Structure formats: structure tokens, C-alpha cells
Structure 1
Amino acid sequence: MTDTNNYDIVLVVTGTVVVLLMALFSVSFIFYYHRRQRESTREKQAMQADFERELLQTQLETQNHTLLQVAEELHDNVGQLLTVAVMRLNQLEDEVEGETAQQSVQQTREVIDTIIADVRSLAKTLDHNTVRRFGFLPSLTLELERIQRVGRVQTQLQTTGEPFSLGEQAETVLLRIAQESLNNAMKHAHASMLIVLVDYQPDSFTLTVSDNGDGFRVDEVNARLIDRAGSGLSNLQRRAKLLHGACAIESRPDAGTRVCVTLPRNSVN
């Protein structure tokens, strides 16, 4: 009888141990399965992010190459033609008589001189080598001075903090972001005032482009169908993401637009 009881106890204990082991195995398997799922999801997200970053990098390299060709064309061909025009005007000034004609020639020459200066400035801001040679702030200043010379829009550059290098690639991308934001403000918002703020902090960098233009509803623009949607806002955000940063766009009808790009300093060097 005692042997039978002991046998039953052994069976119960053994069965309990087996059930516990099976339960433990099941729980461990479930945890392992979910962990592998999370890891797989993270790997896929990382692969997608890397793919998007490489794709955007390729697009930027193509854009820089195209802009460099345009800059060279402006400098070598358009600039030379304008210089020839000035030389011809100089000759014409010696040939024409009368104060009115002389004044007309002089005024035309001044206009062409202004165009030559604008073409040279534009060629420099399109050339990413300008950023390499002079840095972000001088290149941005050159762009704002070029816009200011047109006379339709006032510009203002404000700098806070102690400037530091962000690296050639990051500064080139940031200059393109600033250029696109400024161009959007002039082309679509009909702004008369553009304010650019560059803020250098020990652990971050912030670029803010503000205008006093028409403004718009950001949610409405983001919700547009593909046939009416532009790529301007998404381009700004994707470029900021390339630098491991973020781009916030704030705007309201009749209240202007504010584009703010923030980067952690350590991620861009």
C-alpha cells in the first residue's frame, strides 16, 4: 500500500514537473518569438531607413552635380556674354552724342553690372564647393545678399551661440534647405520680409527660416491628393532626417510660415 502511495506521489510530482516544464517552455518560446519579431521589425525599419538615406544621398549628389553644371554655365557663358555687353556699351558711350543718350547708356551699363554681380552670386550659392571653401554662414549670407539686391524682399540674418563646423555634407544640405525655404516664401507666400535665425548650442544646431507671407494650413497641404501635392515640405523633412534631425513647419493663413530644422550636434560630425 505504501509502495502504491509512493508510486502515485511520484507520478503526480513527475506530471507536475512535466507540466511546469512545458509551461515554462511555452512561455519562453512565446517571449523568444515576440523578441525575434521585435528584432526583425527593428531590422526592417533600420534597413528601410538606410535605404531611404542612401536614396536621398544619391538624389543630393545628383542635385549637387546638376547645380554645379548650372553654376559653371552661368559663370563661364552667361557671365562672359554680359561682360561683352558691358564692353560694347563702353564703346557705344564714346560713339553716341547728347546727354540723354549718354545717360541711357550709363543706366544700361549699371543694370548689366548688377546682373553680372547677381549671376556671380547665384553661381557661387549653387556650387557646393562654396560651402567647402567658406562654410555655411558665409554661403548663407551670400544667398541673402543676392535676394536683398533684387529689391522686392528684405532679408535679415540673426546668429546666436558660438559657431562650429557641421561638416561639409551637413552644411551643404542645410544650405539647400534654407534656399528651398526662402524660394518657397518668395514664390508662393509673396513674403516681403525673410528672417533667418542660426542658433549654435553646445549639443544642438537650429536653423529657422521665417517669413511674413500668406501662410497656409499645414494639415490641408499634407492631405492633398497626389495630383495636387507638391514635394517641397516632404523634401525639407527628408533632408533634415538625412542629418538625423527634425524639421518642424508652422504656418497659418495670413500669419506667415516658420521652418525650423534642429540637429543634434554629435550626429552631424
Structure 2
Amino acid sequence: MQALTGEIEIVSIATIFLLFITGAPIAFFMMHQRQYLRYLQDKEQIKNLYQRELLQSQLEIQNQTLQQVGSDLHDNVGQLLTVVVMRLNELEDEIMEPARQEGVQQTRELVRTVISDVRALSKTLDHDTVRRFGLLPSLTLELERIQRTKRILAELTTIGEPYSLGEQTEMVLLRMTQESLNNALKHAQARNLHVLTDFKSDSFALTISDDGRGFSVTEATTRQLEASGAGLSNLYRRAGLLGGTCVIHSTPGAGTRVEIRIPYPQIKQG
């Protein structure tokens, strides 16, 4: 009986030893795998944080530059154009021929239109405009400036009850809209521009669309560095900065639609 008990103990010890020998490497591998996955996650978080901080710095520099440009337009160019109007008023009084007076009047009205456009442009470039009035009035001002060219119909549609997205978020969205509108004006040969803001309970969506000639998104995003612009990549990266997404739909001859979506948690933090 004692011999049988001894054999059982030996078998038990051997079994435990074998389990330890075979299980230890597995446990070590699993622990190493968890540590490696944690390392990859930490590395990805650091990378994302670096990219967000880099984009944040770029945005701040851009805002400062645009604000300075807007200030110069308002203070310098605007004042010079005002002087031109005053000189045209004097010139009109000096000219006796009705035909020439009419030409002076037309020129004066044209200069006044330019003054109005310069003032509107300086406001849309100014960071304080968004801070003081919010996203929707800033978008309205931008579209009114385009509308005054009388070459393109530009309109804004709002769905849902508007709420604040946060000053920083609204500034990024305004710059993304300006980038998209600028692309449409320069390249699309569009006749109609439409900006849609959709205030949902769980997300905010901003859509910029045009009826221009369109382009191949795949071809544009796979160009060599020297042949590609920064417009599309800026849109993608800035949407990522907001914790959202940017999707561009376009095909040659069928216009372009830029869809930007931000989930509600990011909105609250904005």
C-alpha cells in the first residue's frame, strides 16, 4: 500500500513538473505578447499625440498669419481704396462731360464693391470673428463674399438646432470649409456651391458640395509629392485633429462633395 502511495506521489510530482515545464513557456509567451501589444498601443498613442500637437501648432501659426493678412487688408488696402473713392468724387466734380461723369461713377461703384469685399475677406480671415459670432455667421459671411462675385450661387442650409462646438473646433471647421470652397473656385469651374450643417444629438456633420467638373479622388491622393497639393491631406488631417472623419466624394464630370463628421464626445471637448 505504501509503495502504491509512493508511486502516486511520484506520478503527481512528475505531472506537475511536466505541466510547469510545458506551461511556463506558454505563460511567458502570453505575458510577452501582452507587453508587446501594450508597447504598440503606447507607441501609437504617442504618435497620435505628436501628430495632434503638430497640427495644433500649424493651425495656430496659420491663424496668426491669416489674422495679420486680414488686418493688413483692412487697415492698408481698405484705406487706400477709400482714398481712391475720395479722388473719384473730386474728379467727377471737375469733369463736365456727362459721358465721362458716368464712367467715373461706374468706376467709383466698382471700387466701393472692392472695399466691401476686402472688409468681408478680412473678417473671415480673422480668428476673432469666429470667437465673437460663432461658426454659422462666419460661414454666412464667407458665402456672401463669394455670392457678391455674381458668378457663383452660394448657399447655406442648416438642419437641427444649432449648438456650440467650441471655439477651437469651429475655427478648424471654418478653415476646412474655406479650403474646400477655395478648391471649388480654383479648379471645379462650378456654378453652384452648397454648405450644409447638420446638428445631431450624437454628432455634427458639415458638407461642402459643388456642381463642378469633379476629379478622381484616387488619382489625386496617389500622386507623387511634387505633383500633389496639400489641400486634400489638410482636410483629412484636420478632421483627425478633431477626432472625426473627412470623406471626399468626386468623379470627373459629377461635382465634388466633402463630408466632415465629428462625434458628440469630441464636440463637448471642443
TM-score tier after normalising by the smaller chain length:
over 0.9
My pick for the range that moved more, 201-210 or 6-15, is 6-15
The residue that corresponds to 1:184 in the other structure is 183
Q: Which residue of 2 aligns with 1:171?
A: 170
TM-score normalised over the length of structure 2: 0.96
For the pair 1:34 / 2:28, whether they are aligned, the reply is no
> What is the distance in 2 between the residues matched to 1:61 and 1:252?
33
Deviations 1:62-93 (A, max 9, x none): 00000011001001100000011111111111
Q: What's 2:88 paired with?
A: 89
The residue correspondences of 1:204-219 to structure 2 (distance < 5 A) are: 204-219=203-218
| Paired position in structure 1 for 2:56 | 57
Amino acid at match of 2:46: M
Q: Report the secondary structure of 2:188's partner residue.
A: coil
Q: What number of residue pairs does the alignment pair up?
A: 268
**1:235 — aligned with what?**
234
Distance 1:230 1:214 in 2: 18
- Secondary structure of the corresponding residue to residue 244 of structure 1: coil
| Counterpart secondary structure, 1:268 | helix
Give secondary structure in 2 for the equivalent of 1:195.
Answer: strand
CA distance in 2, matches of 1:22, 1:171: 60
1:19 is displaced (CA, Å) by: 1.5
Unpaired runs of at least 5, structure 1:
none
- In the other structure, the counterpart of 2:108 is 109
2: CA distance, partners of 1:19 / 1:57:
57
Aligned to 1:122: 121
Q: Distance in 1 between matches of 2:126 and 2:267?
A: 21
Q: For residue 99 of structure 2, what is the aligned residue in structure 1?
A: 100
Q: SS in structure 2 opposite 1:238?
A: helix
1:210 and 1:257 in contact (8 A); partners too: yes
Within 5 Å, give how 1:226-265 maps onto structure 2.
Answer: 226-265=225-264
Amino acid at match of 1:57: Q
TM-score normalised over the length of structure 1: 0.97
1:21 shift after superposition: 2.4
Q: Secondary structure at the match of 2:226?
A: coil
Q: Is the partner of 1:34 in helix, strand or coil?
A: helix
SS of 1:137's equivalent in the other structure is helix
> Secondary structure at the residue paired with 2:228?
coil
1:31 Cα offset (Å): 1.7
Match of 2:222 in 1: 223
Distance 1:146 1:194 in 2: 12
Is this contact kept in 2: 1:166–1:265, CA < 8 A? Answer: no
Uncovered stretches (5+) of structure 2, i.e. residues with no partner: none
Q: What one-letter code is carried by the residue in structure 1 that aligns with 2:59?
A: L
Residue of structure 2 equivalent to 1:68: 67
Shift of 1:10: 2.4
In 2: Cα distance, 1:11 partner to 1:219 partner? 69
Q: Percent identity?
A: 54
For 1:185 and 1:195, how far apart are their aligned partners in 2? 11
- Opposite residue 195 of structure 1, the aligned amino acid is H
Kept in 2: contact 1:147–1:155 (CA 8 A): yes
- Counterpart Cα distance in 2 of 1:60 and 1:213: 28
Aligned equivalent of 2:150: 151
